[in-house]
Amino acid sequence: MMSTNLNLLVFLLCIVVIFSAGCAEQPDAISSPPADRESKIPADAVKVTPQTDPNPPESLSTDYKDPEPVTGDINTAGAEDSPFVLPDGNTLYVFFTPDVRVPVEKQIVDGVTGIWVSKKVKGVWQKPERVVLQDSGKVSGDGCEFVLGNTMWFCSVREGYSGIHWFTADLVGGSWTNWKNADFNPEYKVGELHIFNNELYYHSDRAGGKGGLDIWVLKKANGNCQQPQNVAAVNTLGDEGWPALSPDGSELWISKDYSVWRSKKANGEWTAPEKMFSPLAGEASIDRQGNVYFVHHFFKDDKMVEADIYFAARNTT
C-alpha cells in the first residue's frame, strides 16, 4: 500500500540529512502560516470519482453499508491517506501529499506534505488545516499520527536526528506544541501503533513473528512495559499491519492483502479476522458509533494516481 508513513520516511531521511548539512538548495520548509495544500496539486491532476473508479471498494459484511468518499473539503486530486478519526466522529486527521508521482525525497520539501486535520461542522467536513509539528523554517517528514486525549504520537524524520523516531506533541489552546522525542525500546521495532488502556498495538517485522509484518502488543504492568506479544490469531505468513481498535476495545482492525479486516474479541481473546472492505482499502479508523474511515487508492495502468478517504456507515438495523 502507499502508506506514506514509516516505510516512506525511511527514504525521506536522506534528504533531511542533506538539507540539514546545508549541501543542497533550500527546500520549502514549513512556513508560518503553512502553505495552502491545494496550491501544490499539479494542474494536470485528475480527480477520480466513484463513477470513474475501475476498482471501487465494497462492503463484504452485512454490518456495513458500502463505503463512499467522505463529504466536504477533505478529498482532492492529491493523495489523502492514513486517516485517524477521534471517537466522537467530529475530528479527522489525514496524511496529505499533493502529487504521488513526485519522488518521496521531494515530497518532504514541498511545504505541504504532512499531517492535516478537519473538523465536522453541522455534519460537513471543513477545509483541513496543517498540523504544524516543526519549528518554522525547518524540515521534517511527519506521519503515523495517533491521538489520545491531548497527546499525539507521530513518527518523523527531521533536522537534528538521524533515522526515524517517534515523537509526542501536546494539544494546548487548540494547537499542537511541545513536540519531543518519545522513542520505544529499539528491540521492539515499533511501527504504526494504536493505544488502548494499558495496551499498545503495533505492526512490526521483528523476529519471532509468523512472517512479514505482524501485529504485536505491548502491555504495561505496574508502570513498566512487558515484552511484546505476538497477536497470533490475526497474523499469517504474509503482512498484517496498521492496527486500529474500536473505541470500546472489542474490535481490532488491520490491513492485509490490500483490504481492511476485522477481528473481534471473544472471551478475552482475539478471533480470526474477517475481510470487511476491498479492494485497495487500508488503514482503518473507527468512531464511537462503529463507523469506519479508511484510505482507498486509485490505480491506472498499474500505477497509483491518487488516494482518498472513504467512510463506511455501520448498519443499525
- Burial class (CB within 10 angstroms; exposed 0-12, middle 13-18, buried 19+) of 182: middle
C-alpha cell at 58: 465494497
Residue-wise pLDDT tens digits, 256-274: 999 999 999 999 999 999 9
pLDDT confidence tier of residue 32, bands split at 50, 70 and 90: low
C-alpha cell at 287: 468512531
Q: What is the pTM of this model?
A: 0.91
**Beta partners for residue 68, in sequence order:** 311
Whether residue 22 is predicted with pLDDT greater than 50 in this model: the reply is: no
Contacts by 263-267 with C-beta closer than 8 Å and gap 24+? 263/233, 263/234
Whether residue 27 is predicted with pLDDT greater than 60 in this model: the reply is: no
**Domain locations in the chain?**
6-35+51-312
pLDDT confidence tier of residue 222, bands split at 50, 70 and 90: confident
Whether residue 21 is predicted with pLDDT greater than 70 in this model: the reply is: no
Of 42, 176, 14, 43, the residue nearest 112 (C-alpha)? 42
Q: Tell me the percentage of the chain whose pLDDT exceeds 90.
A: 79
As a CATH number, domain 6-35+51-312 is 2.115.10
Report the alpha-carbon distance of residue 275 to residue 278 in Å, rounded. Answer: 8
More confident call, 1 vs 104: 104
